[in-house]
Amino acid sequence: MELKNSTVLITGGTSGIGLEFVKQLSEQGATIIVTGRNLNALNETKKKFSHVHTFQSDVSNPKDIEQLYKHVTQQFPDLNIIINNAGLMRLIDLQDTSLDLENINREITTNLSGTIQMVHQFLPHLITKKSAAIVNVSSGIAFMSYSSAPIYSAAKAGVRAYTQALRLQLEHTNVKVFEMIPPGVNTIAVRLRKKGINLSDAKD
């Protein structure tokens, strides 16, 4: 796939792995669209990479995804790659009764449902392209659950299973499906160390 002439949408592209996607794809000459929930973070990303196009959008909100699809496909009809990178990881004690049912589900709605909804919304557009791709960011934790982040572990395992099924369903189309399993990143390691937890055996 020719990245130089590609138009790429990256969810959660304002920090960590997402921002690294922005950096490396910029070097390849791709047209880059970045989404995120935090407007300040989007503005900071725009300052660092003036050529990128930003949209405030929350992948856990179906209405946001519908609006994102409408605006992006109108303004960037050549869009041919989406990278589902937006993610949320929390350390959760499953015996903590202070978390209500909606709150306990946040990693699922962002990491798993968000990925599924983004693909479902954008797939009809991607299929029309001569060359297209979907990249879903998974985790090493999909293979080995991390007890301190149980909902995150379940969500990433779901992303992996969904991506495998998606790849099989699209194998006779022009849309390639990739699962990215990145190594451990500093943003998560630092967050856990502050809580006295060593993540030496887990990956994200």
* pLDDT value, residue 196: 47
Q: Is the pLDDT of residue 53 over 50?
A: yes
Kindly report which listed range (40-49, 51-60, 142-151, 192-201) carries the lowest average pLDDT score. 192-201
Kindly report the average pLDDT of the chain as a whole number.
90
What Å distances lie between residue 37 and 31, 41, 61, 154, 201, CA to CA?
21, 8, 10, 23, 30
* pLDDT value, residue 184: 57
Q: Is the pLDDT of residue 182 over 50?
A: yes
Dihedrals phi, psi of 54, to nearest 5 degrees: -115, 145
Buried residues in 104-141 as b, exposed as e (16+ CB within 10 A): ebbbbbbbbbbbbbbbebbbebbeebeebbbbbbbbbb
Q: Give the N- to C-terminal CA distance of the chain in Å, as an integer.
A: 26
For residues 117-136, give the mean pLDDT: 98
Over residues 153-169, the pLDDT tens digits come to 999 999 999 999 999 99
For residues 53-66, give the mean pLDDT: 98
Tell me the pLDDT band of 42, cut-offs 50, 70 and 90: very high
* pLDDT value, residue 145: 85
Query: Which pair of structure tokens corresponds to residue 135?
Result: 């990249």
Per-domain residue ranges of the chain: 7-193
| Nearest Cα to Cα of residue 136 among 109, 154, 115, 120 | 115
Helix (H, G, I), strand (E, B) or coil at 96: coil
Place of tokens 């690294």: 20
Tell me the pLDDT band of 102, cut-offs 50, 70 and 90: confident
Domain 7-193 has CATH 3.40.50.720: yes
Q: Is the pLDDT of residue 172 over 70?
A: yes
* pLDDT value, residue 143: 86
* pLDDT value, residue 4: 86
* pLDDT value, residue 199: 35
* pLDDT value, residue 142: 85
How far is 116 from 106, CA to CA, in rounded Å? 15
* pLDDT value, residue 204: 34
Does residue 193 come out as left (phi exceeding 0), alpha (psi in the -120 to 50 range) or beta?
A: alpha
DSSP string, 1-64: --STT-EEEEETTTSHHHHHHHHHHHHHT-EEEEEES-HHHHHHHHHH-TT-EEEE--TT-HHH
| Number of neighbouring beta carbons within 10 Å of residue 85 | 26
Q: What percent of the chain has pLDDT over 90?
A: 81
Q: Which positions are catalytic? A: 152
What Å distances lie between residue 108 and 83, 103, 104, 113, CA to CA?
18, 10, 9, 6
How many residues does the structure list for the chain? Answer: 204
* pLDDT value, residue 195: 45
* pLDDT value, residue 189: 41
For residues 100-109, give the mean pLDDT: 92
